[in-house]
A and B are shown apart, each in its own frame.
Chain A
Amino acid sequence: DIQMTQSPSTLSASVGDRVTITCRASQSISSWLAWYQQKPGKAPKLLIYKASSLERGVPSRFSGSGSGTEFTLTISSLQPDDFATYYCQHYDSYPLTFGGGTKMEIK
């Protein structure tokens, strides 16, 4: 199974900050990676697919990059609505697996 490791697990930041979350795969997954945002009590929301493609309707302050085993999600200027938990997920092969999540907290 491909293991997905996210870091950090918690990120304290302020409105307006530029923040980056890292996701590492235990083996190459090409660009078969998605990022999701989840708020408490809600379903996850798709942000990025194929490592760097922005889902329609997602603000352009979100961006994704990487390929192979190392990937990043960057928020260029953190907004109040962005405080949530973020998950990466690979879809290269079965079983599909998620990273452990990064909780974005207000500093």
Chain B
Amino acid sequence: EVRLVESGGGLVQPGGSLRLSCVASGFTFNDHYMDWVRQAPGKGLEWVGRIRNKADSYTTEYAASVRGRFTISRDDSDNSLYLQMNSLKTEDTAVYYCIRGLNGNDKNWFDPRGQGTLVTVSS
């Protein structure tokens, strides 16, 4: 069974940092592109960013709203995905979902399996 378990969310002050983690199981993690998607309270879904697999050099893409502040990384030896969030703003408050990409290239659709982790940015 495919599982994605996010952790690391919590309350942080504006300007602070937080690191989210996601542990994957039930599939060959290192084959897949992985994404982060977020959802502000009562709002729609917003793509945050993507990290490609080793075959595609672990390169990354980001939404403009987080570029330069957020960094996505992965550790294939641990089946883990990370989201380092710096210079946090109140508008970053959201549930963050770790998502497996399906199709193995940039034309990936999402296979959401995690429960998400809530990040609250507030003073």
Binding site for B on A (CB under 8 A): 1, 32, 34, 36, 38, 42-46, 49-50, 87, 89, 91-92, 94-101
Contact = CB atoms under 8 A, between A and B. Distances in A.
B63 to A, nearest CB: 5
A95 B50 CA distance: 10
Nearest to B67: A95
A100 B97 CA distance: 18
Interface string B31-49: 0000101000000111100
Given A43-B115, A94-B61, A34 B44 contact: no
B45 A44 contact: yes
Interface in B73-109: 97, 102, 106-109
Contacts of A45: 112
A45 B113 CA distance: 8
A71 B73 CA distance: 34
A98 B44 contact: yes
Contacts of B46: 98
B110 A44 contact: yes
A95 B47 CA distance: 8
B112 A46 contact: yes
A28 to B, nearest CB: 14
A45 to B, nearest CB: 7
B45 A89 contact: yes
B107 A32 contact: yes
A4 B35 CA distance: 19
B23 to A, nearest CB: 15
Contact of A87 (B44, B97, B108): B44
Contact of A43 (B50, B63, B97): B97
A9 B102 CA distance: 28
A45 B84 CA distance: 25
Given A43-B97, A43-B115, A91-B108, A100 B44 contact: yes
Nearest to B95: A43
A55 to B, nearest CB: 8
Contacts of B45: 36, 38, 44, 87, 89, 98, 101
Residue from A38, A91, A94, A97 with most neighbouring chain B CB atoms (10 Å): A91
